[in-house]
């Protein structure tokens, strides 16, 4: 029972609805146990194969699930039985960790060039809050890596003394964090969520001498994890498989001009020979000439005055060069080698409308980064693009309406977790929240749509039991968008969580779907119970 004080005169009381499993879940349990009280591992395996899309599930897999559920729910029964009650079964289905909607391991071909994959990308990965006044911290970088982000963006600026490097959102009031701190955080946490490569994109605002210091810190921090580019940039990127446990630097190559050279003088006489060596074999700093080098408090190598930085030091660590080019160049694929280009969402949207087919062709070998805010997306650490986006023999035209390929049926049973993650009065001061869910498709124009459930008044555990069907012409590019809102009559509806689910990665069956905040942070408890079916 929950109480809400309306005024000094009286208090409103609301009963808390129990976490009541959907009737369809009860029917599934009865079906696969033949009406029995317990579900044995072999019965669970049959359910996982026939309903949950787990065609590769073995008896050993089912036994492991039973063991894990019993370990989490029971302290004594785990020693006395090896089967699930109905409550255990429902607990398993509504567990985000035990029953996600995607396969837990990478199952795609990971041997194609890196540009053939969608990559989970961070933007201003170091900011703790807004882009104008918040703090910069390595903690946010660590959090992003643990969530599966594979591209970390760092904005580099000189410190107030012009002798060190800070990471911050330039020309704002954000407080900086030292570059070395960020690099160490990346090294320590790069591969906690995935063994596939981490790309660091540097927005570089440094003078040549500080660029050389940045190169020095990068090579010393990452060591064997750092991927060095070949002497001549290739036409295509290496594959994610080839780049396992590697860290790649991507930024604009420095200008090789007299001004840069004049800032880096007194290079040893054999530097021209070293410049011809492979970057991984070349020392960033010619430390052999000094016996007094040591690490100072800033993490840099101290040198005597006779020693200066090599002009090619910074360029030698750039594995993916960023190319500043016009949209027309990218569309025509006149870049000549594998590079990264950055486009604003506005320019990209215009190009898709007016030159969509040419844009697809031009991006086959390049890695593109679109600036803007994307919704949090489950199951998308690194996933392969469909063949029609990377095969030069067939060029996809997003403007052409294609025939129906499949239909996705989505049922939203219920939601829970807000009562644990939010204060009682977070949504409404005088009553429990009134939740509704919006669900739809983001993809090619023919597939895009958004629909809405009924509003469930005064319920912390909303039960909708509503089904929606989405016809799909290009399911390979479709994202299932899910948003929960809390209805208010007199003001803007409150936000209750969101996620995006790549349709091509969805498994059929009943699954628990975690929801995320506006900032992309996963809620501790908020989740939905949903069912997916392709027809």
The residues annotated with a catalytic role in the active site are: 123, 169
377 within some domain = yes
Most confident listed range (128-142, 256-270, 407-421, 487-501) = 407-421
State both tokens at 521. 């942070």
Residue matched to tokens 């095969």: 391
Region at 172 (left for phi over 0; alpha for psi -120 to 50; beta for the rest) = beta
Q: What is the mean pLDDT of the chain?
A: 80
Instruction: Please indicate, yes or no, if residue 109 is contained in any of the structural domains.
Output: no
Query: Tens digits of per-residue pLDDT, 84-124?
Result: 999 999 999 999 999 999 875 567 889 999 988 888 887 76
Residues 33 and 130 in one domain: no
Residue 453 has pLDDT above 50, yes or no: yes
All residues at 6 or more sequence positions from 254 whose CB lies less than 8 Å from its CB, including other chains: 208, 211, 260, 314, 315
pLDDT computed for residue 121 by the predictor = 83
Percentage of residues of the chain with pLDDT beyond 70: 70
* 130-134, 166-170, 329-333, 492-496 — most confident range: 492-496
Tens-digit pLDDT profile for residues 465-481: 999 999 999 999 999 99
Q: Is residue 482 a part of any domain in this protein?
A: yes
The 3-state secondary structure of 388-401 reads: HHCCCCCCCCCCCC
Whole-number Å distance between alpha carbons of 166 and 162: 10
Q: pLDDT value at position 78?
A: 60
- CA neighbours closer than 13 Å in the CB half-sphere of residue 388: 9
Average pLDDT, stretch 434-463? Answer: 96
Task: Please give the tally of structural domains in the chain.
Answer: 3
Whether residue 276 is predicted with pLDDT greater than 50 in this model: the reply is no
Considering the entire predicted model, what is its pTM? Answer: 0.78
Asked if the structure places residue 281 within a domain, the reply is no
Q: Do the Cβ atoms of 449 and 470 come closer than 8 Å?
A: yes
Share of the chain above pLDDT 90, in %: 50
pLDDT confidence of residue 368? 57
Question: 280 pLDDT band (50/70/90 cuts)?
Answer: very low
**Per-residue H/E/C for 3-30:** EEECCCCCEEEECCCCCCCCHHHHHHHH
Q: Is residue 107 part of a domain?
A: no
Question: What tokens were used for 422?
Answer: 């939010």
C-alpha dihedral, 97 to 103 to 105 to 106, nearest 10° = -140
- pLDDT of the residue at 361: 62
The residue ranking higher by pLDDT, 451 or 303, is 451
Query: CA-to-CA distance for 447 and 472, rounded, in angstroms?
Result: 6
- Considering the domain architecture, whether residues 501 and 527 belong to the same structural domain is answered as yes
Distance CA 362, CA 356 (A): 10
Q: In the Cβ-directed half-sphere of 456, how many Cα atoms lie within 13 Å?
A: 22
Which CATH number fits the domain that encloses residue 463?
2.60.40.150
The answer to whether 211 and 263 have CB atoms below 8 angstroms apart is no
Residues 70 and 132 in one domain: no
The region that residue 509 occupies, defined by phi over 0 for left and psi between -120 and 50 for alpha, beta otherwise, is left
130 and 241 share one domain: yes
Boundary residue ending a domain (355, 389, 423):
389
Residues 6 or more apart whose Cβ sits within 8 Å of residue 338:
113, 115, 233, 234, 235, 236, 237, 320, 365, 366, 367
Are 460 and 524 contained in the same domain?
yes
Do 59 and 120 fall within a single domain? Answer: no
244 and 374 fall within a common domain: yes
Handedness of CA 181, 185, 188, 191 (dihedral sign): negative
CA 355 – CA 399 distance, rounded (Å): 10
Q: Is the pLDDT of residue 5 over 70?
A: no
Q: Which domain holds residue 76?
A: 23-94
Strands (E), 356-405: 367-371, 382-384
* Contact in structure between 37 and 85 (CB atoms under 8 Å): yes
CATH number (domain holding residue 145)? 3.20.20.190
- Residue 48's CATH number: 1.10.238.10
Closest to 127 (Cα-Cα) out of 153, 149, 150: 153
């Amino acid at each position: 029972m929950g109480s809400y004080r309306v005024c000094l005169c009286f208090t409103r009381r609301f009963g808390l609805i129990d976490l009541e499993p959907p009737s369809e879940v009860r029917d599934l349990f009865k079906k696969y146990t033949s009406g029995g009280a317990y579900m044995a591992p072999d019965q669970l395996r049959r359910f996982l194969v026939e309903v949950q899309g787990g065609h590769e599930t073995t008896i050993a897999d089912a036994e492991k699930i039973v063991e894990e559920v019993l370990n989490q729910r029971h302290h004594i029964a785990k020693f006395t039985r090896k089967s699930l009650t109905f409550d255990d079964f429902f607990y398993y289905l509504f567990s985000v960790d035990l029953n996600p909607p995607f396969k837990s391991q990478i199952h795609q071909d990971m041997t194609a060039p890196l540009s053939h994959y969608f990559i989970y990308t961070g933007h201003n990965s170091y900011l703790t809050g807004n882009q104008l006044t918040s703090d910069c911290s390595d903690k946010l970088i660590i959090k992003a890596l643990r969530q599966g982000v594979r591209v970390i963006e760092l904005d580099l600026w000189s410190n107030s003394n012009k002798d060190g490097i800070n990471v911050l959102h330039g020309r704002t009031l954000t407080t900086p964090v030292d570059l070395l701190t960020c690099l160490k955080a990346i090294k320590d946490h790069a591969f906690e969520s995935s063994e596939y490569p981490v790309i660091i994109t540097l927005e570089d605002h440094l003078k040549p001498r500080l660029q050389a210091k940045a190169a020095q810190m990068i090579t010393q921090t990452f060591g064997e994890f750092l991927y060095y580019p070949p002497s001549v940039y290739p036409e295509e990127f290496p594959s994610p498989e080839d780049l396992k446990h590697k860290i790649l630097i991507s930024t604009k190559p420095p200008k090789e001009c007299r001004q840069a050279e004049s800032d880096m003088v007194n290079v040893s006489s054999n530097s021209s020979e070293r410049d011809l060596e492979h970057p991984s074999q070349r020392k960033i700093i010619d430390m052999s000439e000094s016996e007094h080098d040591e690490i100072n408090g800033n993490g840099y190598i101290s040198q005597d005055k006779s020693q200066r930085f090599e002009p090619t030091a910074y360029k030698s660590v750039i594995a993916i060069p960023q190319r500043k080019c016009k949209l027309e160049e990218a569309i025509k694929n006149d870049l000549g080698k594998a590079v990264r280009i950055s486009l604003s969402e506005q320019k990209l949207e215009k190009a898709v409308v007016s030159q969509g087919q040419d844009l697809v062709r031009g991006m086959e070998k390049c890695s593109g980064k679109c600036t803007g805010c994307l919704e949090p997306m489950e199951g998308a650490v690194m996933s392969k693009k469909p063949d029609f986006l990377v095969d030069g023999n067939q060029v996809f035209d997003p403007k052409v309406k294609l025939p129906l390929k499949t239909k996705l049926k989505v049922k939203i049973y219920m939601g829970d977790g807000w009562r644990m993650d939010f204060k009682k009065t977070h949504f409404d001061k005088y009553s429990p929240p009134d939740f509704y869910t919006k669900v739809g498709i983001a993809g090619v124009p023919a597939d895009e749509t958004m629909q809405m459930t009924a509003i469930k008044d005064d319920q912390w555990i909303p039960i909708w039991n509503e089904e929606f069907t989405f016809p799909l012409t290009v399911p390979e590019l479709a994202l299932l968008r899910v948003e929960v809102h809390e209805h208010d009559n007199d003001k803007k509806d409150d936000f209750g969580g969101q996620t995006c689910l790549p349709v091509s990665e969805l498994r059929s069956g009943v699954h628990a779907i975690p929801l995320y905040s506006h900032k992309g942070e996963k809620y501790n408890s908020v989740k939905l119970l949903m069912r997916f079916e392709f027809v």
